Chains A and B, each alone.
Chain A
Amino acid sequence: MSSPAPASPLFWRFNPEVYRLIGVRCKDCGHITYPRRKICPICGSLNLEEHKLSRRGTVQTYAINWVLPPGLEPPVPVVIVDLEGGGKYQGIITEVTNPEDVKIGDKVEMVLRKVVTDRGLNIYGYKFRLVEEG
Chain B
Amino acid sequence: MRGKVAIIGVGMIPFGEHFQKSLEDMAAEAYITCLESVDKGIAPKEIKAAWFGQWSGGTIGQGAQAGSSLASIIGNMEIPITRVENGCPTGADTFRNACLGVASGVYDVVLALGVEKMRDKPGSESLIAAGGGTGAIMGQHPSWMMGHGGPSLQAFYATRQMYELGFTMEDFAKVAVKNHHNGTFCPYAHYRFEVTVERVLNSPLVCWPLHLLDCCPQTDGAAAAIVCRADLAKKYTDKPIYVLGSNVGHDHANYWDKHNFIEMLATVRAARGAFEMAAVKPEDLDFAEVHDCFTNTELMNIEDIGICRKGEAAKLLNEGEFDTKGRIPVNPSGGLKAHGHPIAATGIGQICEVVWQLREEADKRQVKIKSGIGLQHNVGGPGFGVSGVNILSRSL
- In the docked arrangement, what's the CA distance between A121 and B128, Å? 23
B148 touches A10 (CB 8 A): no
Q: Which of chain B's residues have a CB closer than 8 A to the CB of A17?
A: 141-142
B160 touches A61 (CB 8 A): yes
A116 touches B134 (CB 8 A): yes
Nearest residue (CB) in A for B256 is A88
Question: Quick one: which of B134, B139, B210 contacts A69, CB cutoff 8 A?
Answer: B134
- In the docked arrangement, what's the CA distance between A24 and B184, Å? 52
Q: Which of chain A's residues have a CB closer than 8 A to the CB of B144?
A: 90
Q: Confirm or deny: B64 has a beta carbon within 8 angstroms of a beta carbon on chain A.
A: no
Question: Quick one: which of A34, A63, A88, A125 contacts B152, CB cutoff 8 A?
Answer: A63
B111-155 residues with Cβ-Cβ distance < 8 A to A are: 124, 127-128, 131, 133-136, 138-144, 146-149, 151-152, 155
Report B252 CB to chain A, min CB distance, Å.
Answer: 6
- In the docked arrangement, what's the CA distance between A10 and B160, Å? 33
Nearest residue (CB) in A for B149 is A67
- In the docked arrangement, what's the CA distance between A13 and B140, Å? 10
Report A30 CB to chain B, min CB distance, Å.
Answer: 13
- In the docked arrangement, what's the CA distance between A67 and B127, Å? 9
Q: Confirm or deny: A127 has a beta carbon within 8 angstroms of a beta carbon on chain B.
A: yes
Interface range on chain A: under 10, 10 to 19, 20 to 34, or 35 or more? Answer: 35 or more
Known: A104-B163, A115-B136, A116-B134. A65 touches B148 (CB 8 A): yes
- In the docked arrangement, what's the CA distance between A21 and B147, Å? 20
- In the docked arrangement, what's the CA distance between A84 and B157, Å? 22
Q: Which of chain B's residues have a CB closer than 8 A to the CB of A71?
A: 134-135
Q: Confirm or deny: A76 has a beta carbon within 8 angstroms of a beta carbon on chain B.
A: yes
A90 touches B257 (CB 8 A): no
Known: A64-B208, A78-B148. A92 touches B134 (CB 8 A): no
Report A51 CB to chain B, min CB distance, Å.
Answer: 13
B156 touches A63 (CB 8 A): yes
A35 touches B160 (CB 8 A): no
Nearest residue (CB) in A for B128 is A69
Known: A14-B136, A72-B147, A78-B152. A65 touches B257 (CB 8 A): no
B257 touches A13 (CB 8 A): no
Nearest residue (CB) in A for B138 is A10
A91 touches B146 (CB 8 A): yes
- In the docked arrangement, what's the CA distance between A58 and B163, Å? 15
B261 touches A61 (CB 8 A): yes
Q: Which of chain A's residues have a CB closer than 8 A to the CB of B94?
A: none
Q: Which of chain B's residues have a CB closer than 8 A to the CB of A22?
A: none
Report A121 CB to chain B, min CB distance, Å.
Answer: 12
Q: Confirm or deny: A41 has a beta carbon within 8 angstroms of a beta carbon on chain B.
A: yes
User: Per-residue CB proximity of B206-217 to A under 8 Å, as 1/0?
Assistant: 111110000000
A90 touches B155 (CB 8 A): no
A10 touches B136 (CB 8 A): yes
A68 touches B159 (CB 8 A): no
Report B117 CB to chain A, min CB distance, Å.
Answer: 21
Report A125 CB to chain B, min CB distance, Å.
Answer: 4
Known: A63-B155, A67-B151, A78-B148. A90 touches B141 (CB 8 A): yes
Question: Chain A CB within 10 Å — which of B204, B205, B256 has the most?
Answer: B256
Nearest residue (CB) in B for A105 is B163
A115 touches B146 (CB 8 A): yes
B149 touches A41 (CB 8 A): no
Question: Quick one: which of A78, A88, A89 contacts B147, CB cutoff 8 A?
Answer: A78
Q: Confirm or deny: B255 has a beta carbon within 8 angstroms of a beta carbon on chain A.
A: yes
Q: Which of chain A's residues have a CB closer than 8 A to the CB of B210?
A: 63
A32-72 residues with Cβ-Cβ distance < 8 A to B are: 33-35, 41-42, 60-72
List the interface of chain B (C-beta within 8 A of A). Answer: 124, 127-128, 131, 133-136, 138-144, 146-149, 151-152, 155-160, 163, 204-210, 252, 254-258, 261
A-B contact pairs, 8 of them (CB 8 A): A31-B257, A34-B141, A66-B204, A66-B207, A71-B134, A78-B152, A87-B256, A125-B143
**Which 6 pairs from chain A and chain B are nearest by CB?**
A63-B155, A125-B142, A116-B135, A88-B256, A64-B208, A69-B134
Q: List 9 extra interface pairs beyond A10-B136, A92-B143, A123-B142, CB under 8 A.
A: A14-B136, A17-B142, A35-B141, A64-B205, A64-B208, A69-B148, A72-B147, A75-B208, A88-B255
